[in-house]
């Protein structure tokens, strides 16, 4: 299971709740950023520049990695050629031009020349190309998947645009797991479970939270990813919806139990658990010095009470370390707007 996420299709992450949820869920959040945007950061939004400067997002420069992907250009070109032969891709029709999407040339390798030749792209001022939108969506999904496979990146492709998940089909025709379904299930689950703070992201608060509670994140993420993988195997849309609903109901019940344990102040938890212990101890002190049998019985009562009290404390700690405790802490730290 991967711990990091690679954002696509755009350079700048959106200044919205989706980004906050992603920062809370993944260990590291990455974005594909051309080198000229790093040397001339004014090309990026203020929000994206702040994310990079504060270390909340890491930049992946495609120029440094594409040449390590074997047959990067050829595989994509062959896929597009197949679609052209089946008449599934074209730039212009009798009704006019198809919608286009601008893509930076640094992400494209040697692919732009081919796309221009077959009428699926045109240069609109270096280093940008206007590419037929469906082809552009396929390419951005393709490059994110390829880069995510590199060991030094090792990240799951994620996006806030549903249409860009459609090209994330199974790698093998025989595979029953649909990555687009997994992506959708993850999005639904996180939007229901994690809080959505209002206003701007408070960098210090977010970093402090992950430093304090980050040890809970791997087990929480493993639970979510296991569920989403199971959902992605379901071919029927209604079954996927029902599976997500049932999972969320179960999660909320578990979170409520965790929040109940977390709710009392520390002193109340400790005193409430140890009160019987103190009472048993006082009972021993009250015994007559010469009454050995009575004192022995009181001591046994003390030992049993001690075990019960300490077990209650340890049980509370165990509950607080459950995977979904991460959600309970997040809701307390980041009240939803």
**pLDDT tens-place string over residues 279-299:** 444 444 544 555 555 545 555
pLDDT at site 328: 94
Q: Please tell me which residue, 178 or 242, carries the higher pLDDT value.
A: 242
Confidence of residue 180 (pLDDT cuts 50, 70, 90): confident
**pLDDT exceeds cutoff 80 at 269:** no
- Reading the block at residue 197, the tokens are 């703070």
- Inside any domain, residue 215: yes
pLDDT at site 252: 97
- Inside any domain, residue 85: no
Strand-by-strand arrangement of the 100-104 sheet: 100-104, 128-132, 121-123
**pLDDT exceeds cutoff 70 at 275:** no
pLDDT in tens, 100-154: 999 998 878 789 999 999 999 999 998 999 999 999 999 999 999 999 999 999 9
- Inside any domain, residue 290: no
Confidence of residue 265 (pLDDT cuts 50, 70, 90): very low
- Inside any domain, residue 235: yes
Provide the terminal-to-terminal Cα distance of the chain, rounded to the nearest Å: 31
- Inside any domain, residue 93: no
Rounded mean pLDDT of the chain? 82
Q: What is the domain count for the chain? A: 1
Q: Is the peptide bond before 189 cis (omega within 30 degrees of 0)?
A: no
- Inside any domain, residue 217: yes
pLDDT at site 168: 56
The DSSP symbol for 197 reads B
Residue span of the structural domain in which 244 resides: 179-271
- Inside any domain, residue 259: yes
- How many Cα neighbours within 13 Å face the side chain of 206? 22
Of the candidates 63, 41, 38, 52, which has an alpha carbon nearest to the alpha carbon of residue 7? 52
Burial of 179 (0-12, 13-18, 19+ CB in 10 A): buried
pLDDT at site 303: 53
- Inside any domain, residue 121: no
Instruction: Give the SS3 label for residue 36.
Output: helix
Of the candidates 109, 132, 102, which has an alpha carbon nearest to the alpha carbon of residue 9? 102
Confidence of residue 278 (pLDDT cuts 50, 70, 90): very low
Alpha carbon distance 254, 266 (integer Å): 21
- Does the reported pTM lie above 0.85? no
Q: Please tell me which residue, 313 or 167, carries the higher pLDDT value.
A: 167
By mean pLDDT, which of 15-29, 41-55, 82-96, 226-240 is the weakest? 82-96
pLDDT in tens, 293-324: 554 555 555 555 555 544 454 545 666 788 99
Confidence of residue 167 (pLDDT cuts 50, 70, 90): low
Burial of 231 (0-12, 13-18, 19+ CB in 10 A): buried
Q: What is the mean pLDDT of residues 329-337?
A: 85
């Amino acid at each position: 299971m991967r711990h990091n996420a690679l954002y696509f299709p755009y350079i700048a992450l959106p200044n919205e709740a989706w980004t906050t949820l992603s920062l809370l869920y993944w260990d590291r959040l990455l974005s594909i950023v051309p080198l000229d945007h790093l040397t001339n950061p004014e090309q990026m939004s203020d929000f994206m520049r702040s994310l990079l400067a504060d270390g909340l997002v890491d930049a992946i420069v495609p120029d440094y990695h594409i040449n390590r992907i074997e047959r990067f250009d050829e595989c994509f070109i062959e896929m597009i050629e197949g679609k052209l032969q089946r008449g599934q891709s074209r730039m212009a029709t009798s009704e006019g031009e198809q919608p286009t999407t601008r893509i930076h040339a640094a992400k494209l390798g040697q692919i732009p020349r081919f796309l221009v030749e077959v009428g699926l792209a045109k240069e609109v001022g270096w280093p940008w190309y206007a590419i037929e939108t469906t082809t552009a969506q396929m390419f951005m999904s393709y490059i994110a998947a390829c880069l995510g496979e590199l060991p030094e990146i090792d990240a799951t492709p994620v996006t806030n645009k549903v249409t860009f998940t459609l090209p994330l089909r199974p790698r093998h025709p025989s595979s029953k797991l649909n990555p687009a379904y997994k992506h959708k299930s993850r999005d639904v689950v996180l939007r229901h479970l994690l809080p959505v703070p209002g206003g701007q992201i408070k960098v210090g608060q977010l970093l402090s939270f992950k430093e304090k509670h980050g040890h809970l994140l791997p087990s929480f993420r493993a639970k979510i990813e296991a569920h989403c993988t199971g959902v992605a195997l379901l071919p029927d849309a209604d079954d996927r919806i029902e599976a997500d609903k049932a999972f969320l109901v179960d999660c909320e019940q578990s979170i409520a139990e965790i929040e109940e344990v977390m709710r009392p102040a520390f002193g109340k938890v400790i005193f409430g658990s140890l009160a019987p212990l103190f009472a048993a101890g006082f009972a021993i002190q009250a015994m007559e010095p010469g009454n050995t049998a009575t004192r022995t019985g009181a001591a046994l009562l003390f030992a049993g009470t001690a075990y019960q009290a300490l077990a209650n404390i340890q049980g509370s700690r165990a509950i607080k370390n459950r995977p979904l405790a991460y959600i309970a802490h997040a809701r307390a730290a980041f009240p939803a707007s």
